[in-house]
């Protein structure tokens, strides 16, 4: 069902989007501030993907760059709409809606900024179903919508159009190279598509899911109930139906370096009692969680590190020595686990040697009553 989003929804949406960011995706709180500033008392129409016209012309918008840099370099707010307008001019066709390419992290907010500035509606769907580090890691791409042409806008009026035909990895590499020259952050419009394409290739209702998850956590806290149990119940109503607790412990080591436009590294979390530590590897987002050689969860399933008590999601940048955390695993929808999908954003796409195994088949345990 289509619905209206107001500024009051943004804190919950930001929390949920941070959870779906699985450690990366950039800080949605910065995006939230930008949306709030532009939206004021207004509303944004969020379109249900099942209700849109087959011919609706949708241009997704996003920010790209290393999350580490995004925290230091806050966008002006006009670049995403600039990117969309640049792509419209190049295509000779006006967008009738925008959409996230990535529902996790700040990219949940970027289309809302565009919507608030332009009056365009936002389609409640995305192409990652979480956050991923590369523009080519899209269900859109997996199911046949090409990313090119891509438009990129910089904060000093720079405009770039990249067309690499069907080669989304080359598109990603070009856009990443420009983004690095822009100081680490660029704003983009890409994967222009029709309403029929959205239904065929997008992960549906991920914006409303992010909002529902963020709200469930907050409301449970306010009611002094378990936010973990609330999260489990909220997820059960979505395509992400399996939640597993992988570990509870204390952060004892975080390695993090920004190279080639990515934040890469690992976190080590020791148990509070006896037992082996859990290691989480990340490239912007958490990729794999292991305990003593045992696989607990692996990309594209969600690996979320959250505060052990409040369930507040913690980004890679927010990880600190001594934090008490829970590591959660969340199952992803079937369209993100097909052979074609795993080729694009499964373990091997990140150079990991492990095979994908569904988190619900591994050693994590359900949330305790």
Smallest distance from its own copies to CB 113, Å: 22
Give me the residue label for tokens 């990535």: 102
Residue 160 interacting with its own copies (CB under 8 A): yes
Residue 146 interacting with its own copies (CB under 8 A): no
- What are the DSSP E strand ranges found in 98-141? 122-123, 125-126
Residue 337 interacting with its own copies (CB under 8 A): no
The smaller minimum CB distance to its own copies, of residues 178 and 295, is found at 178
Residue 19 interacting with its own copies (CB under 8 A): no
Q: Is 315 left (phi over 0), alpha (psi -120 to 50) or beta?
A: beta
Site for its own copies in 178-217 (CB under 8 A): 178, 180-181
Please provide the size of the chain in residues.
369
Binding window for its own copies (CB under 8 A); candidates: 16-24, 173-181, 229-237, 345-353: 173-181
What residues contact residue 194 under an 8 Å CB cut-off, 6+ apart?
A: 54, 55, 56, 57, 58
Smallest distance from its own copies to CB 260, Å: 12
Over the window 110 to 129, marking each residue x when it contacts its own copies by CB under 8 A and - when it does not, the resulting string is --------------------
What residues contact residue 160 under an 8 Å CB cut-off, 6+ apart?
A: 151, 152, 153, 154, 175, 178
Residues 273/324, Cβ–Cβ less than 8 Å: no
Edge to edge, what strands does the sheet with 122-123 contain? 3-5, 44-47, 122-123
Residue 174 interacting with its own copies (CB under 8 A): yes
Residue among 173, 194, 226, 354 that touches its own copies (CB under 8 A):
173
137-to-71, 143, 249, 275 alpha-carbon distances in Å: 23, 11, 31, 36
Backbone angles phi, psi at 179, to 5 degrees: -60, -40
The smaller minimum CB distance to its own copies, of residues 159 and 337, is found at 159
- What are the DSSP E strand ranges found in 308-353? 324-330
Q: What is the dihedral of CA 28, 30, 34, 40, to 10 degrees?
A: 80
> CA-based Rg of the chain, rounded to a whole angstrom?
19
Residue among 2, 170, 194, 348 that touches its own copies (CB under 8 A):
170
Site for its own copies in 66-95 (CB under 8 A): 90
The smaller minimum CB distance to its own copies, of residues 15 and 176, is found at 176
Residue among 48, 158, 270, 360 that touches its own copies (CB under 8 A):
158
Smallest distance from its own copies to CB 120, Å: 23
Q: Dig out the tokens for 200 from the structure.
A: 């065929």
Residue 167 interacting with its own copies (CB under 8 A): yes
Residue 163 interacting with its own copies (CB under 8 A): yes
Residue among 128, 131, 141, 162 that touches its own copies (CB under 8 A):
162
Residue 161 interacting with its own copies (CB under 8 A): yes
Backbone angles phi, psi at 320, to 5 degrees: -135, 150
Residue 157 interacting with its own copies (CB under 8 A): yes
Task: By CB under 8 A, name the binding residues for its own copies.
Answer: 90, 154, 156-165, 167, 170, 173-174, 177-178, 180-181
């Amino acid at each position: 069902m289509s619905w209206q989003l107001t500024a009051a929804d943004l804190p919950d949406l930001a929390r949920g989007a941070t959870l779906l960011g699985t450690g990366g995706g950039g800080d949605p709180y910065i995006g939230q501030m930008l949306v709030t500033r532009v939206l004021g008392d207004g509303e944004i129409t969020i379109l249900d993907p099942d209700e849109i016209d087959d011919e609706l012309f949708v241009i997704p918008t996003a920010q790209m760059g290393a999350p580490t840099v995004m925290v230091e370099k806050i966008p002006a707010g006009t670049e995403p709409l600039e990117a969309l307008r640049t792509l419209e001019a190049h295509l000779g066709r006006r967008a009738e809606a925008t959409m996230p390419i990535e529902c996790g992290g700040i990219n949940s907010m970027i289309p809302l900024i565009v919507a608030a500035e332009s009056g365009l509606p936002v389609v409640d769907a995305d192409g990652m179903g979480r956050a991923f580090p590369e523009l080519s890691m899209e269900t859109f791409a997996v199911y046949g919508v090409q990313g090119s042409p891509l438009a990129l806008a910089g904060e000093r009026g720079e405009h770039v159009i990249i067309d690499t035909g069907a080669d989304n990895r080359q598109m990603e590499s070009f856009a990443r190279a420009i983004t690095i020259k822009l100081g680490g952050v660029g704003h983009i419009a890409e994967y222009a598509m029709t309403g029929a394409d959205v239904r065929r290739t997008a992960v549906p209702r991920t914006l409303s899911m992010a909002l529902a998850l963020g709200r469930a956590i907050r409301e449970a806290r306010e009611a002094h109930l378990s936010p973990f149990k609330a999260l489990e119940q909220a997820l059960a109503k979505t395509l992400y139906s399996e939640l597993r607790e992988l570990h509870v412990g204390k952060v004892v080591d975080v390695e993090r370096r920004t190279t080639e436009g990515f934040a890469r590294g690992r976190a080590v979390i020791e148990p509070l009692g006896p037992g082996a530590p859990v290691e989480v590897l990340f490239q912007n987002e958490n990729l794999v969680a292991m305990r003593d050689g045992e696989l607990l969860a692996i990309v594209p399933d969600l690996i979320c590190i959250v505060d052990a008590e409040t369930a507040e999601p913690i980004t890679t940048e927010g990880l600190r020595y001594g934090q008490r955390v829970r590591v959660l695993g969340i199952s992803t929808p079937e369209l993100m686990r097909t052979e074609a999908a795993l080729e694009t954003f499964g373990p091997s796409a990140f150079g990991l040697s492990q095979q994908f195994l569904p988190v619900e088949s591994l050693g994590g345990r359900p949330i305790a009553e």
